[in-house]
Amino acid sequence: MSVFKNVIKLGVSTFITQMSIVIISLVCNIMLSKYGALSKYGSDIPIAVIGITMKVFSIVINIIVGIILGAQPILGYNYGAKNIKRVKETFNIVTIASLLVGIISTIIFELSPTTIIKIFGSNEPLYLEFAVICFRLFLMLVTFTCLIKMASIFFQAVGEPLKAAITSLTRDIVFFVPLVIILPKYFGIKGSLIAAPIADFLGILVTAILVVKFFKCLESNEVSKNDSILKDSKPGYIITISRMHGSQGKKIGELVASKLKIPYYYKEMTALAAKESGLDKEFISNINRNKDILHDLYLTSSPVKYAISAQDKVIKMIASKGSSVIVGRASDYVLKDNPKVIKIFIYANMEYRIKNIMDMYKDSRKQAIKNIIRSDKNRASYYELVSGSIWGNVENYDLCIDASIGKEKTAEIICEYIKKRNK
């Protein structure tokens, strides 16, 4: 039911847009018939011409709708993945495309309206005269209309039904309908035509305010969220920790970070990599949790390679912030050229690891052994893919330590080692 409600909410703006077209066509026809009868054009010519104008206008708008609908999955996916950078990039591309369509259309309507009008027949002088006036006035600011329609569908894509409805309503119902009723009283039949560009101008102001506020809010939320994940730290060593499954490497890393009073990164890297890549956080987190048979093939797939590239960028970004503890993700290799990196490998005997896995995950002994073997194999495959080197090879690390002496003692030894390196 909740999904159904969301579908209705997001579809309301489209419904409003379609209904508003019916309403403005109806009101236009009534006013043009009324004031056309008082002019030299009569009531028939204005109604016939506005029908043609609206058809041409709808062709332009449908092109815009096609462009933004093509981008809608990209916008929706990246907005959901919190990849704000890609949302902005896509929005900018769509905006430029909409501007180009609008500007080209405006140039044609203003410089050569008769070419379009004659496609629909009738060379009667009064008909052509009014048609030229109609195209040049009514479609004067069609570029703004394009941007308004584009913004409305954009708001649908990012789950903002209220903003989508407002952008649909303001130009057509709030501004155009009252103007098309009021202006003919003062400007005659031309008043019905200039109502459109005035409504376009007012509508684009409202749309611009909504779009600017939306992106400002988005950026402020993103900055706030990133600040809680990514922290500046004091200058010093970056400690990377690789570990065997069940050696309690994550907990040891946390203890080291706590003792040294520096940031600790494990799950936070997944969140930042998801933002960087636009991929789902769970997908990135589960890269090393796939079935044995397909794991090596899986690691060479394009989405995984893309996720790994994003993780590499995040790891380097974390290192640039100062001293920290980074667990896993081949961070020792990614930061191999950084002189401030201390590479730690934590191992332990099989019995110690089996006991830890059984305690942590409530596995049976058989399950624990199976999970240890699979996890270590997957980590080795991942490390080899990223570095071309052997995971666990002592030559790749500054310190290899047996965690079976206990996580507290292991953390203390690591801290002592780091303090000596700092001297």
Q: Which string of DSSP letters, residue by residue, matches 99-129?
A: HHHHHHHHHHHHH-HHHHHGGG----HHHHH
Q: What is the pLDDT of the chain when averaged over all its residues? A: 82
Highest mean predicted confidence (pLDDT) among 104-108, 306-310, 311-315? 104-108
Ramachandran quadrant class, 258 (left: phi over 0; alpha: psi -120 to 50; beta: rest):
alpha
- The pLDDT of residue 84 is 79
Domain boundary among 194, 228, 262: 228
Are 412 and 321 found together in one domain? yes
Shared-domain flag, residues 350 and 276: yes
The phi-psi region of residue 414 (left if phi > 0; otherwise alpha if psi is between -120 and 50; otherwise beta) is alpha
With 0.75 as the threshold, say if the pTM is over it. no
3 state DSSP class of 280: coil
Largest CA distance in the chain: 101
Whether residues 200 and 236 share a domain: the answer is no
- The pLDDT score that the predictor gives to residue 106 is 93
Q: Is the pLDDT of residue 280 over 80?
A: no
Shared domain for 150 and 122, answered yes or no, is yes
Identify whether residues 195 and 301 lie together within a single domain.
no
Last residue of a domain, one of 228, 262, 281: 228
- 39 neighbors 130 (Cβ within 8 angstroms): no
Domain C-terminal end among 201, 228, 255: 228
Cα-based distances in Å from 53 to 43, 76, 139, 203: 16, 33, 8, 20
Please, is 189 exposed, middle or buried when counting C-beta atoms within 10 Å of its C-beta (0-12, 13-18, 19+)? buried
Angle at 83 between CA 79 and CA 87, to 5 degrees: 60
pLDDT digits (tens, 9 = 90+) for 115-143: 888 887 667 888 888 889 999 999 999 99
Question: Same domain, yes or no, for 221 and 241?
Answer: no
**Whether the predicted pLDDT of 229 surpasses 70:** no
Per cent of the chain over pLDDT 70 is 82
Q: Are residues 224 and 285 in the same domain?
A: no
Q: What is the mean pLDDT of residues 170-195?
A: 88
Residues 24-71: pLDDT tens digits? Answer: 778 888 888 888 888 888 888 888 888 888 889 889 999 999 999 899
Reported as a pLDDT band with limits 50, 70 and 90, residue 302 is low
222 & 243 share domain: no
Res. 293 pLDDT band, cuts 50 70 90: very low
Query: Do 254 and 224 have their domain in common?
Result: no
Q: How far apart are CA 337 and CA 316, in angstroms?
A: 11
- Pair (223, 130) in one structural domain: yes
Give the up-direction half-sphere exposure of residue 332: CA atoms within 13 A in the CB hemisphere: 28
Q: Are 92 and 221 in the same domain?
A: yes
Note the pLDDT of residue 227.
Answer: 46
Rounded distance between C-alpha atoms, residue 96 and residue 71, angstroms:
13
Domain carrying residue 215: 2-228
Strand partners, 341: 238
Task: Please determine, for residue 208, whether its predicted confidence score (pLDDT) is greater than 60.
Answer: yes
Residue 252: CA atoms inside 13 Å, Cβ hemisphere, count?
33
Total tally of structural domains belonging to the chain: 2
288 pLDDT above the threshold of 70? no
Q: How far is residue 347 from each of residues 12, 108, 251, 279, 354, measured CA to CA in Å?
A: 58, 73, 13, 31, 13
CATH of the domain at 382: 3.40.50.300
N- to C-terminal Cα separation, the chain: 64
Question: Cα dihedral sign for 269, 270, 274, 277?
Answer: positive
- DSSP character for 395? G
Q: Are residues 366 and 319 in the same domain?
A: yes
